């Protein structure tokens, strides 16, 4: 069974803090994704990575950066957290060959105060 693990289920951070959200997958998937989930807006893509050290901007990359130093790990970084980044963050991974959609992590509920 594919597992995508996000390091924290709930986080509370202060405005201006640097925040790291970690995601690890154990199925050797090439592609990893970070989405943000807000009510009424669905899932919006922040960044994705198709290979180690490779990254591509999604639809809403402003205020975020990412790091992928190892194939199994994809980190989302909020350089200076702001209250409008309070949200649910979902990590996902998927194959390149034989694509069948994603497996999601359980999500990190981030609150910025």
In the complex, the residues that contact another protein under the rule CB under 8 A are 30-31, 33, 35, 40-45, 48, 50, 56, 58-59, 90, 94-102, 104-107
Spatial distance between the Cα atoms of 103 and 2, rounded to a whole number of angstroms: 7
Report the residue number, 65 or 96, with the smaller CB distance to another protein: 96
φ and ψ at residue 4, rounded to 5 degrees: -120, 120
Spatial distance between the Cα atoms of 66 and 85, rounded to a whole number of angstroms: 15
Under a CB-based contact definition with an 8 Å cutoff, are residues 21 and 6 in contact? Answer: yes
Report the residue number, 81 or 102, with the smaller CB distance to another protein: 102
- Tell me the closest approach of the beta carbon of residue 16 to another protein, in angstroms: 29
- Tell me the closest approach of the beta carbon of residue 38 to another protein, in angstroms: 10
Report the residue number, 9 or 18, with the smaller CB distance to another protein: 9
- Tell me the closest approach of the beta carbon of residue 70 to another protein, in angstroms: 18
- Tell me the closest approach of the beta carbon of residue 31 to another protein, in angstroms: 5
Report the residue number, 62 or 101, with the smaller CB distance to another protein: 101
Spatial distance between the Cα atoms of 72 and 33, rounded to a whole number of angstroms: 12
Cα distances (angstroms) measured from residue 36 to each of 21, 44, 64, 70:
12, 5, 11, 22
């Amino acid at each position: 069974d594919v597992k995508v693990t996000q390091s924290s289920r709930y986080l509370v951070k202060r405005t201006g803090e640097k925040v790291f959200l970690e995601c690890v997958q154990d199925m050797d998937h090439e592609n990893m994704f970070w989405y943000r989930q807000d009510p009424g807006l669905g899932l919006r893509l922040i960044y994705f990575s198709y290979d180690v050290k490779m990254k591509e901007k999604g639809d809403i990359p402003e205020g975020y950066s990412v790091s992928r130093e190892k194939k199994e790990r994809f980190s989302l970084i909020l350089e200076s957290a702001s209250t409008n980044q309070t949200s649910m963050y979902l990590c996902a991974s998927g194959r390149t060959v034989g694509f069948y959609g994603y497996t999601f992590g359980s999500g990190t509920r981030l609150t910025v105060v």
